[in-house]
């Protein structure tokens, strides 16, 4: 048996074992959806017209129904965290099974209707109210990396703002999307009587994307994904809220006051979560002068496995395709390895690791594809910078102006400030893991759609509203 065949068979066996362990001896869950019912459609026109009716029903039911529906979706995400998480893992085959339920439970911290506070004005000329009104029907495009968590978070934000939604999910996570949409609609209908408030395309394609985006009855797009879909959405002519790609750096400053074990743990927590699938995740470490060795040693103490140069090269040649030779800036990500387990990546280099290993690290220079590409693998490159100013310039260059996320570990207030100002990212986390920027271990709320490209930031119900003003002239200004 050739080495390649042996490795491939080991991959399959460990995948099957992981699935059996996760499900007990009963094996895989089955996905049952009822197309044409409870929001699942195979046709864009039908889905939009059903969602339009859902929107009108919600308008008639008022604010109470919005709160009720948000509570239904939040409770379902908790109650079904394990089951939906398992089904999503088995369908998408990326990330860490154990982290899938955590992402669904995190939906508790998505903002609801309470966030929409009208602004009142009163003065000599009467009173005026500015209010956040719904758009109507929104089209949501969701990524492979977090199918149901993005769908659930979008529903909460969008319905809290009074809208209905049609999803065109990533085809690789469309079955679990249909299952969740179906069950959510069934629960919404049972408790409120509203039908088809949340719809999805059962077998999404580029054609269904185009049909939805050009539909005259669609009022707004919300796109969560990489550069291709963001570009496509911006060209449709519809207003689009785009949560685009990123390549977040983490800088470790050379502060003697830093606890480097804590720094390493934070990097592993954020960068290792769901095998680095989070768009906000630490994707390259840039360590300043003396902190380089301290960080590397602490990462190893905290369980990361250091690859040598040959092992890194072997993995690099497998997970990237090089058009014009290795290292010439022509790396194209081999998506098969996105979200792979560290032990599966290590096996490419002939290294046998336990499946509990959370992260691989490798010493690279700043031009390495692992630094420059948004590779979404639990293999973090660590780059040495001579001083803070060089670290900052590597961090800025490798973020490519996505204005997405950046992290730093430092006790120097001036440097914390300088990096925040220069990176100009939507999320900037100091002295914690990236997830602290989404309220997990830090203050604040969460959304799985961080509107970086179009600038709305971490989405809230307000993101999905249009402002309307109502003015009464010369009356009801009771305070003089």
| Residues at the site binding ligand NAD, with contacts judged by CB under 6 A | 141-145, 169-171, 206, 209, 224-226, 228-229, 232, 243-246, 279, 374, 448-450, 452
Q: Which is nearer to ligand NAD, 152 or 243 (CB)?
A: 243
Element (H, E) at 126: strand 126-134
Q: Which residues, in sequence order, are CB contacts of 389 under 8 Å at separation 6+?
A: none
**Sign (positive or negative) of CA dihedral 49, 54, 60, 62:** negative
Q: Which is nearer to ligand NAD, 146 or 409 (CB)?
A: 146
Q: Which is nearer to ligand NAD, 275 or 449 (CB)?
A: 449
3-state SS assignment for residue 251:
strand
Q: Which is nearer to ligand NAD, 378 or 388 (CB)?
A: 378
3-state SS assignment for residue 400:
coil
**Min. distance of Cβ 337 from ligand NAD in angstroms?**
12
**Min. distance of Cβ 33 from ligand NAD in angstroms?**
18
**Min. distance of Cβ 245 from ligand NAD in angstroms?**
3
CA distances from 140 to 12, 151, 240 (A): 34, 8, 10
Determine the Cα–Cα distance for residues 240 and 227; give it in Å rounded to an integer.
14
Q: Which is nearer to ligand NAD, 102 or 232 (CB)?
A: 232
Determine the Cα–Cα distance for residues 411 and 385; give it in Å rounded to an integer.
18
Q: Which is nearer to ligand NAD, 203 or 293 (CB)?
A: 203
Determine the Cα–Cα distance for residues 130 and 121; give it in Å rounded to an integer.
8
**Min. distance of Cβ 240 from ligand NAD in angstroms?**
12
The pair of three-digit structure tokens given for residue 196, joined into one six-digit string: 């088809």
3-state SS assignment for residue 427:
strand
**Min. distance of Cβ 243 from ligand NAD in angstroms?**
3
Rg (CA), the chain: 24
Q: Which residues are paired to 473 by β-bridges?
A: 126
Q: Which is nearer to ligand NAD, 75 or 235 (CB)?
A: 235
Q: Which is nearer to ligand NAD, 143 or 369 (CB)?
A: 143
Determine the Cα–Cα distance for residues 326 and 334; give it in Å rounded to an integer.
14
The closest of 279, 283, 289, 234 to 258, measured between CA atoms, is 289
**Min. distance of Cβ 371 from ligand NAD in angstroms?**
16
Nearest 5°: phi and psi at 446?
A: -120, 155
DSSP character string of 317-352? HHHEEESSSTTSS-EEE-GGGTT--HHHHHHHTT--
Q: Which is nearer to ligand NAD, 260 or 320 (CB)?
A: 320
The closest of 204, 74, 220, 55 to 140, measured between CA atoms, is 220
**Min. distance of Cβ 150 from ligand NAD in angstroms?**
7
Q: Which residue is nearest to ligand NAD (CB)?
A: 225
**Min. distance of Cβ 458 from ligand NAD in angstroms?**
8
**Min. distance of Cβ 283 from ligand NAD in angstroms?**
10
Which stretches of 222-359 are DSSP H helices? 227-234, 260-272, 291-301, 309-319, 342-348
Q: Which is nearer to ligand NAD, 72 or 229 (CB)?
A: 229
**Min. distance of Cβ 137 from ligand NAD in angstroms?**
18
DSSP one-letter code for 28: P
**Min. distance of Cβ 456 from ligand NAD in angstroms?**
11
Q: Which is nearer to ligand NAD, 254 or 456 (CB)?
A: 456
Residues 115 and 449 sit within 8 Å (Cβ to Cβ): no
CA distances from 342 to 11, 55, 143, 347 (A): 12, 45, 22, 9
How far is CA 367 from its chain centroid?
26
**Min. distance of Cβ 246 from ligand NAD in angstroms?**
5
Q: Which is nearer to ligand NAD, 51 or 451 (CB)?
A: 451
Nearest 5°: phi and psi at 336?
A: -60, -30
């Amino acid at each position: 048996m050739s080495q390649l065949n042996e490795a491939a068979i080991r991959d399959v066996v460990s995948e099957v074992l992981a699935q059996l362990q996760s499900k007990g001896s009963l094996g895989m869950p089955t996905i049952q959806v009822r197309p044409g019912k409870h929001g699942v459609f195979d046709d864009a026109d039908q889905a939009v017209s059903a969602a339009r009716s859902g929107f009108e029903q919600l308008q008639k039911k008022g604010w109470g129904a919005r709160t009720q529906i948000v509570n239904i979706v939040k409770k379902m995400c908790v109650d079904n965290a394990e089951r939906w998480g398992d089904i999503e893992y088995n369908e998408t085959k990326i990330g860490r099974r154990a982290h899938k339920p955590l992402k669904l439970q995190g939906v508790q911290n998505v903002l609801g209707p309470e966030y929409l506070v009208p602004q009142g004005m009163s003065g000599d000329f009467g009173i005026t109210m500015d209010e956040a009104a719904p758009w109507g029907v929104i089209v949501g495009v969701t990524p492979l990396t977090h199918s149901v968590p993005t769908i659930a978070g979008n529903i909460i934000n969008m319905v809290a703002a009074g809208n209905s939604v049609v999803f065109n999910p990533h085809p690789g996570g469309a079955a679990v999307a249909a299952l969740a949409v179906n069950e959510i609609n069934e629960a919404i209908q049972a408790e409120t009587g509203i039908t088809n408030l949340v719809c999805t395309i059962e077998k999404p394609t580029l054609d269904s994307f185009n049909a939805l985006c050009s539909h005259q009855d669609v009022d707004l797009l919300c796109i969560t994904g990489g550069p291709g879909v963001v570009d496509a959405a911006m060209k449709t002519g519809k207003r689009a809220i785009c949560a685009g790609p990123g390549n977040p750096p983490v800088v470790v400053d050379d502060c003697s006051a830093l606890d480097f074990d804590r720094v390493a743990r934070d990097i592993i927590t954020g960068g290792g979560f769901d095998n680095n699938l989070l768009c906000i995740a630490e994707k390259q470490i840039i360590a300043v002068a003396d902190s380089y060795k301290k960080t590397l040693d602490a990462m190893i103490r905290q369980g990361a496995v250091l690859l040598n140069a040959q092992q890194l090269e072997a993995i690099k040649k497998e997970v990237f395709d090089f058009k014009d030779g290795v290292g010439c800036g022509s790396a194209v990500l081999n998506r098969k390895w996105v979200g792979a387990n560290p032990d599966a990546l290590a096996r490419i280099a002939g290294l046998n690791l336990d499946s509990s290993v959370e992260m691989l690290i490798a010493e690279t220079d700043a031009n390495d594809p692992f630094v420059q590409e948004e590779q979404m693998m639990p293999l973090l490159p660590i780059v040495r910078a001579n001083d803070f100013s060089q670290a900052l310039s590597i961090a800025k260059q490798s973020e490519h102006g996505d204005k997405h996320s950046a992290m730093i570990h430092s006790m120097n207030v001036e440097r914390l400030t300088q990096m925040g100002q220069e990176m100009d990212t939507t999320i900037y986390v100091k002295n914690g893991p990236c997830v602290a920027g989404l309220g997990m271990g830090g203050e604040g709320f969460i959304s799985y759609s961080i509107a970086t490209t179009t600038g709305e930031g971490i989405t809230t119900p307000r993101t999905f509203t249009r402002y309307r003003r109502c003015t009464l002239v010369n009356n009801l200004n009771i305070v003089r």
